Amino acid sequence: MRIIAGTAKGHRLLAPSNRAIRPTGDRTREGLFSMLMPRIIGARFLDLFCGSGANGLEALSRGAAHATFIDNAAEAIDITRLNLERCRLSADGCVLKASIPTQLGPQPRPFDILFADPPYAWNDYALLLQTLQANGFVAADGVVILETGYNAVLPEEVGLLCQKKRRRYGDTGLTFFA
């Protein structure tokens, strides 16, 4: 696993040894960031269920102003911090240990791009989208992207967030809400 483009291009990333933590594949990440390119420069990026932090690190490498990384696994938190240091991006990142979505409290500054990669067996998508909106995580023109198994059943809309597009990368699905 590596950073694909930007200032940290080519940096190899450490990955958690826990098999339950499934990193976003390079091909999926490449597709994701090619779709996000017009929005990424100067954006505030949220990487939920961050695992190794690869998506937030890719965002920072490509010009995001800030990335916050949240996971409930101690190993994922430690690995993400190490990867931030190895890529020399620590100054622009914040790593938090929290249970998602139950410990996501009010957010003073919303995010422009929110990426969530929950375990494939997880199915509280509507609750997650509702919590992000209710606690001020989503900027007025923000986008929320869920990485799931392609066959996962997702809500068409939750509150003000509506499903806008869906892309398939093998068994992986990326669903965009805005």
pLDDT of residue 20: 62
pLDDT tens, position by position, 35-80: 999 999 999 999 999 999 999 999 999 999 999 999 999 999 999 9
Position 81 in a domain: yes
The total number of structural domains in the chain stands at 1
Position 61 in a domain: yes
- CATH number of the domain enclosing 93: 3.40.50.150
This prediction has a pTM of 0.94
Q: What is the 3-state secondary structure (H, E, C) of 146-165?
A: EEEECCCCCCCEECCEEEEE
Position 109 in a domain: yes
Dist. CA 134–CA 131, nearest whole Å: 5
Position 113 in a domain: yes
Position 6 in a domain: no
Position 75 in a domain: yes
Position 11 in a domain: no
Question: Region 152-175: what's the mean pLDDT?
Answer: 95
Dist. CA 51–CA 69, nearest whole Å: 9
Owning domain of residue 157:
28-177
Name the pLDDT band for 102 (thresholds 50, 70, 90). Answer: confident
Position 8 in a domain: no
Residue identified by tokens 């990440």 is: 29
Give the residue ranges of DSSP H helices in the chain.
26-40, 54-61, 74-86, 125-134
